[in-house]
Amino acid sequence: MLGKGRTPSSTLSATIPNGIGKLKFTYMQAFSTKVNFTISVDGAVVGTYNDTSAANDSKTVTIDVNKVGNVKIEFAQVGNSSGQVCIADVQWTNYSK
């Protein structure tokens, strides 16, 4: 979970060895404050999610990454006033040429 009111803003990251084809994850607004977070691949933002949906409304996202080698994935809150977001079911496929 990326928490609210953190300074610096909350982040969650991992380095995946051997590359990634597609990255898939589900997120959910934990409480009433809207979520606002980014996902980066090797330091480049590939998605921004500024969601005003009701709490407990889960969304599934699939991103084409298609990178070989060690790939760093990072989820990060945009500012410390963004709502708490639960990130779950993170999955990826193998890199393919």
pLDDT digits (tens, 9 = 90+) for 48-62: 998 776 566 789 999
Phi-psi region for residue 67, left (φ > 0), alpha (ψ -120 to 50) or beta? beta
pLDDT > 70? residue 90: yes
Distance of alpha carbon 58 from alpha carbon 13, whole angstroms: 20
Give the residue with greater pLDDT, 79 vs 94: 94
Nearest to 3 by CA among 91, 84, 74, 88: 84
pLDDT digits (tens, 9 = 90+) for 11-40: 889 999 999 999 999 998 888 888 889 999
Band (93; pLDDT cuts 50, 70, 90) = very high
Average pLDDT, stretch 78-82?
82
Alpha helices in 21-73, H assignment, sequence order? none
- Superfamily grouping for domain 11-92: Galactose-binding domain-like (2.60.120.260)
Distance of alpha carbon 92 from alpha carbon 57, whole angstroms: 22
